[in-house]
Amino acid sequence: MITLSGVNKSYGKKQVLFDVNLEIPTGSFTMLRGVSGSGKSTLMSVIGGIETATSGTVMIDGQDVGKLKGKARTEFYRHKVGFVFQGFYLQPQLTIGENVALMGMFAGMAKKEREARAKELAEKLGIAEVLMQKPAEVSGGQAERACIARAMFMNPEIILADEPTNNLDPENARNVIEMLKRIQVEMGATMIVASHDALVEKYATQMVEVREGRVEVVGANRDENEAVRMDDGATTV
């Protein structure tokens, strides 16, 4: 369970999150819905540990993450949370395989183990054929799948995806969202997707409206039978 209580976030004199109170159930697929500039990416960053709340409390599985400092905080997030960044954020000088395995390198994993894990994920996500290519040499859909594989590398319990369908054509956008849904269902991961894409709504078990830095749960407790079921041709993870 992820619980935010009275969370505010400011950058200097500019406040971007206001008194956020939110519960995200374990194993859910939660959509943070809002237009660009609504604060949903900042909210994702606070949940994911990239930013710290100016005030308020963020609890993840009973841990007050605001009390974690230095190495303890880094290790907690490294193993607990995977992040699919908006705009890919793949390192251009590295191959797709090296990008996927980046978190393993930071964690001190042996090279052979990293390569084996990267290959395993690449095969599951359908990008094994581009592992040796550079990001500039692959399609947008392949780059997004590489970002998802990187987020999955440490087998996290929580995956955050910030605008994962941006700059993708409709077919690739649908494939990416179906893939994220399968990860949530088959791995029992807690999936949080920030998006203004109506496609994501069909797969969410909880929908949260983010408007001018404030949040409201507008759809909750949808079970998996109410969400769109994947067809037999969708990628299995």
Q: Is residue 230 part of a domain?
A: no
- Domain total of the chain: 1
pLDDT at 127: 94
Q: Is residue 189 part of a domain?
A: yes
Are 155 and 104 in contact, with CB atoms under 8 Å apart?
no
Looking up residue 46, the CATH number of its domain turns out to be: 3.40.50.300
pLDDT at 222: 59
Check whether 134 has a pLDDT greater than 90: yes
Percent of the chain beyond pLDDT 70?
92
Check whether 39 has a pLDDT greater than 80: yes
Please give the Cα distance from 32 to 195 (Å, whole number). Answer: 6
Taking the alpha carbons of 70, 152, 135, 38 in that order, is the dihedral positive or negative? negative
pLDDT at 15: 97
Q: Is residue 236 part of a domain?
A: no
| pLDDT tens-digit map of 66-103 | 999 999 999 999 889 999 988 778 999 999 999 999 98
- Which pTM value belongs to this model? 0.87
Q: Is residue 180 part of a domain?
A: yes
Q: Is residue 235 part of a domain?
A: no
Q: Is residue 234 part of a domain?
A: no
Q: Is residue 142 part of a domain?
A: yes
Of 231 and 150, the structure prediction assigns the larger pLDDT to 150
Residues 174, 117, 229, CA angle at the centre, nearest 5°?
25
Could you list the residue range(s) of the whole structural domain that residue 177 is in?
2-218
| pLDDT tens-digit map of 185-234 | 988 999 999 998 888 999 999 999 999 999 999 876 556 555 555 444 44
